Structure 1
């Protein structure tokens, strides 16, 4: 009689286990993402409500929170801000806006927006900002601001005064701005560092000062003290709180190149009691024959020495760079002075 050996059946558990585990992970991740989406929706509603109580009303048309599975994406078909904090109503309309953060780095938010941005400003002014491309990046640590960057491709800003048909237009081939809390001065002084760079710029006010028909490149580095005053927004209350707290804009570097013309400057700008820009700037120039129609070519070095132009190490650096010092540029009582000479420019208007 022959032996009959039973056939051993192999379990299929390990065949199906990976798929079951993957399904469980997917279900768990979907639950986590859905919870995060709900929290974002709640925080957006709470933030919009806080802004409304502060006099700023935001409208995100057709708001949608998506991005599953690895992003949180907030999308608005259009974005509108209406503010009553300037006395006259201020209204800003923009096109589609998108904010995106990866689930594993929620404190790094990428912003994109479609132009143009149209604004109705106080005293009947209107402004329109358009661009070929806009991208912004915001870094947060918890709720604390770490840094902000904005890059614009071919920006064009047009401002129209009330009752005037002609508009003033500023344009550039590229522009970018960066903000961050100053590591040494933010805790005690609330100081924020600012850097602005623009290439291929055309600015009518600058052309009126040193007109030569050339495009301008700008490099600005500055520090804004008492910056927490602007946590309540950019409005008269915030500006007044900033002014009374002794806030100012310390320009550590201003470099301007416009064809053969070069200018470098440092200084401090604030607001006077009439809410107009006020302060003093030390500057040195090269390739400038006239400033606002006043002939200065060949006289700048003598005038700078006579009326207290940049001296010391700055003077040596200027000489090495082929720059001649200007007399101090002073903003006082709503006027602009070059040493003792008042430049024939329009009076500086109060900001609020």
Structure 2
């Protein structure tokens, strides 16, 4: 073999070597992708089996797993949940849904779903939720989650409840132009109190409860920042067992800020809410308002006439609210299924037990 022949073969080797290496990488990546696909399918089947053992039966109609080569996509033609954990059967159905994760970042999931969502609820209630777009983002870790975010555009929620024994239904609806929710572990209280931080906001919301309190039907912008303690109770789902565990563990919602903008009206509030022994919402919220003349038909000026006695030691908060152009209200108290503003019981429907 001559030196010239050897040189030609060496040159050809380096000419074709990159293509061979690329082919090997493609084969290796394909093997890894199909292994990951198999693990995702196993985890889904195991998760569905665990949920069924807990009384929650999930169905992903026409499930498919794809996304090769750089993503893992789980698609369902429709999603159904049937649960008996509320006593009566609860059935929830929605349209097509997809969950996507990049193969290089499997802990970050993006979920999208097509509405409407329909629900058959206990006590012969039913409801539905529609939207123009719904997307959720989940950043998961080996020990839990780092952040969960949900964005819903143009949501409309309707609840239908039997009104008497004549077969008529009472319909209540709320709507919004945009709704967002964000959850993350609380840095100080997650280990000791299982506390998570929650941020909720909605734009252009039509809320009948506020319409009745404030006497008009103007759209509202709301945002709330809160901390929920004893959140591990909800690892088993949102059902009577979980709510009762949360209540008995002294779980609560600490509202650090609640803001409302409604035309010229403005409200800022904070407080704590939980559940009483009859499973009804209970607690106290301290609020201050501007641009609101009446609450449930009662003049704000009359409510604040005896403010000093009603607020007790909250003089500093009152001064701070005054400096911000806000008029502090007497405490809003939820007690024994009724809603009180200071000593006055508001003319609202009694609060119903959640379970």
- Structure-1-length-normalised TM-score: 0.95
How far is the alpha carbon of 1:337 from its aligned partner? 0.6
On the 8 A contact 2:208/2:217 being kept in 1, the answer is no
Name the CA distance, whole Å, in 2 between partners of 1:53 and 1:303: 56
Name the CA distance, whole Å, in 1 between partners of 2:300 and 2:331: 16
Is 1:86 matched with 2:89?
no
How far is the alpha carbon of 1:311 from its aligned partner? 2.5
Structure 1 stretch 62-71 or stretch 158-167: which is displaced more?
A: 158-167
Equivalent position SS for 2:305: helix
How far is the alpha carbon of 1:327 from its aligned partner? 0.9
How far is the alpha carbon of 1:19 from its aligned partner? 1.3
In the alignment, structure 2 segments of 5+ residues that lack a partner are none
Name the structure 1 match of 2:28: 28
Equivalent position SS for 1:48: helix
Name the structure 2 match of 1:126: 126
Name the CA distance, whole Å, in 2 between partners of 1:304 and 1:212: 26
Name the CA distance, whole Å, in 1 between partners of 2:307 and 2:211: 23
On the 8 A contact 2:230/2:249 being kept in 1, the answer is yes
Superposition RMSD in Å:
1.4
| Aligned pairs for 1:1-352 within 5 A | 8-9=4-5, 10-11=8-9, 12-162=12-162, 163-293=167-297, 295-308=298-311, 311-352=314-355
Structure 1 stretch 7-16 or stretch 205-214: which is displaced more?
A: 7-16
How far is the alpha carbon of 1:160 from its aligned partner? 0.8
Structure 1 stretch 188-197 or stretch 255-264: which is displaced more?
A: 255-264
Equivalent position SS for 1:84: strand
On the 8 A contact 1:304/1:310 being kept in 2, the answer is no
On the 8 A contact 2:108/2:138 being kept in 1, the answer is yes
On the 8 A contact 1:304/1:327 being kept in 2, the answer is yes
Name the CA distance, whole Å, in 2 between partners of 1:223 and 1:288: 28
- Deviations along 1:123-178, one digit per CA (max 9) or x if unpaired, are 11111111111111001112411110001111111111124434211111111000
How far is the alpha carbon of 1:309 from its aligned partner? 6.8
On the 8 A contact 2:116/2:128 being kept in 1, the answer is yes
In the alignment, structure 1 segments of 5+ residues that lack a partner are 1-5
Name the CA distance, whole Å, in 1 between partners of 2:147 and 2:197: 10
Task: Report how many residues are paired.
Answer: 346
How far is the alpha carbon of 1:310 from its aligned partner? 7.9
- Structure-2-length-normalised TM-score: 0.94
Name the CA distance, whole Å, in 1 between partners of 2:304 and 2:346: 18
How far is the alpha carbon of 1:39 from its aligned partner? 0.4
Q: 1:309 to 1:167 in 2, by over 3 A?
A: farther
Name the CA distance, whole Å, in 1 between partners of 2:313 and 2:23: 71
How far is the alpha carbon of 1:259 from its aligned partner? 1.2
Equivalent position SS for 1:346: coil
* Runs ≥4 residues deviating over 6 A: none
Structure 1 stretch 245-254 or stretch 279-288: which is displaced more?
A: 279-288
- Deviations along 1:240-295, one digit per CA (max 9) or x if unpaired, are 000000001111101111112211111111101000011111111122222222x2
